Amino acid sequence: MTARNRPRPRAIAGAPTALLVVAHTIAACGGPAKPTLSSTEDEGGMGPAATSSSESTAGPGGDIGSATEMTTAQITTGGAEGSGGGTSADSTGGEGSDCAPYPGPLRSGSTFYVATDGSDTRSCDEAMDRGTPRGTISGMGECVAPGDTVVVLPGIYNEAVRTTTDGAEGAPIRYLSEQKWGAQIAGVPEYTLAVWWLEADYIEIIGFEVTGNGSVGVSMRGSYGLAAENHVHHIQSPTCSDNVNSGLNGGPPGADFNSAVRNVVHDIANNCPEESAYAFYWGYRGGTIANNIAYRTMGYGIHLWHHPVGTQVLHNLVFAVDGHGMVFGGQGDEGDAEDLLIANNIIYGNNFGIRIMGNQGAGNVVRDNIFFANTGPSIGSMIDHDTLIENVMEVDPLLVDYQADGSGDYRLQAGSPAIDSGVVDITPLVEINVDHDGGPRLLGAGPDIGPYEFGANCRD
C-alpha cells in the first residue's frame, strides 16, 4: 500500500542542525580527482545479500573531480568561524564567483600537523609547527581538544587510523587533508576490519583518500560525525567471506547523527563473487547522506538498515551497482525504518532502483528521484508498507558523458529533466546550499536533481 497524503518526515529529537549546515557548506570547488579503488562493512548484523559481481577495475575519470591544495595561510587566516562559502584570494578551484573554497569554514582552536616524515616522539607543542610534525594521525589523539584541527600533509600513510578523542557540540575536532585527496590512508599490510576507525563523537574527516586492506573504509562508531569530500575506494576483505564490506559506515547501535557529504565511493568488494557490499551503510538515528557519488559496488549503493530513523538521503548519484541502488528497512527486533527522506537522487544503470524491505514504520518519503537504465523496477517491495512515493521520474537525466566505469562527466547537460526539478522544502533540519563541487545549489526555480547544479561551474 502506498500512502499519498502522509506528512513529510518529523523532526528527530537531538538532531544536530548546526553540524548539518556545516556539512553542506564545506566546499572544494574542483570536484573529486580520479578515483580508483573499493569496499564496505555491515556493523551489527547483515543486510540482505547481493548475488552478482563485477570484474571491472577501471577508476573514475578526471571529470568526477580534481585534487585541491590548501596553503598554510588558508588554514590560519582563510575565514571566520562559521562563515559560508565564497571565493577569496587564497581559495582554490572553480570558475564561478560563488564557489566555496576548500576546505570551508575554519575552526578557532589550535592547529596541529602530521607528515609522512614526521615523528610521534615530538611533543604536542612541536606538532603545532608545520616544520616539526608528528608522524601518525592516530598519535594526535593525546594532543587535540574540542575545536582543534589536525592538518595532514600529502603522502601515503600506512596506518590503520584510530580516532578516540571526542570533540564537542559546536566544537568538533577536524582531521583535514591539506590537499584534497593528497593524504592517502592506505591501512597496514595485515588485515584490519576498518582502515579508519572513528571511535569518538563530534569528529570531522575531510578530503582524504582511503583505501587498503580492510572490510570498511571509514567506520563512524561515535556520534555527530562528518565524512566530507573523501575518496573511498577498493575496500575488500581478503577472503570475500566476511559479508561486511562497506566504504563509509554510519556505525553500530548508539552511533547516531553521522553524516556523509560530497564523497566519492566506488569499487567496494567488486572482486568478490557473492557477497553483500555497500558504498554507504547507515543503521540508526539521524544523519544526512548528500551530494555523494557511488558506483561499482558489488551489492548496494546506499543502504539504510537495522533501525534507521530520520536519515535523509539527498542529491546523490548511484550508478553501475550490481545489486540495488538503494535499500531501506528495519531488521528483526531492532526496530522499524521511520521518518526517512529519500529525495533528489539519480539512480542510473543498476540492477534495481530502490527496494523497500524489512520492517517499515511511519513517515518514510521517497520523492523527486530520477531512475534510468536500471535492469529491475525503479521502486519495488515484497512487503506491505506505507511509504509516501511521489514523482517517480523514469527519464534519461542527460548527463554530459555517462560512463559505467567512473571515467565520465556526470554533470547535467542543458535541457536535462533534472534541472530545477528537485523538491525545495525538504525538511527544516538541513539546508543543502552547495553541490558536489562546492557550487551554489539554487541557481534556478528549484534545486537540480543529483549531485551537480547545472551552471555552477565550480571546477579547476
**Domain-by-domain residue ranges, the chain?**
17-412
Task: Give me the pLDDT at residue 64, please.
Answer: 66
Q: What is the pLDDT of residue 103?
A: 80
pTM: 0.83
**Confidence (pLDDT) at 442:** 86
Q: How far apart are CA 49 and CA 36, in angstroms?
A: 25
H/E element holding 18?
helix 17-25
From first to last of the 460 residues of the chain, give the pLDDT tens digit: 333 333 344 445 555 543 333 333 333 333 333 333 233 333 333 343 333 333 333 444 445 655 555 433 333 322 223 323 222 222 233 344 588 888 876 678 999 999 999 999 999 999 999 999 999 999 999 999 999 999 999 999 999 999 999 999 999 999 999 999 999 999 998 888 899 999 999 999 999 999 988 899 999 999 999 999 999 999 988 777 655 789 999 988 999 999 999 999 999 988 877 667 899 999 999 999 999 999 999 889 999 999 999 999 999 999 999 999 999 999 999 999 999 999 999 999 999 999 999 999 999 999 999 999 999 999 999 788 999 999 999 999 999 999 999 999 999 999 999 999 998 765 444 557 889 999 998 899 889 999 999 999 887 5
Alpha carbon distances (Å) from 28 to 402, 440, 448:
23, 12, 19
According to the 3-state scheme, what is the secondary structure of 229-261? CCEEEEECCCCCCCCCEEEEECCCCCCCCCEEE
Q: Which CATH architecture has domain 17-412?
A: 3 Solenoid (2.160)
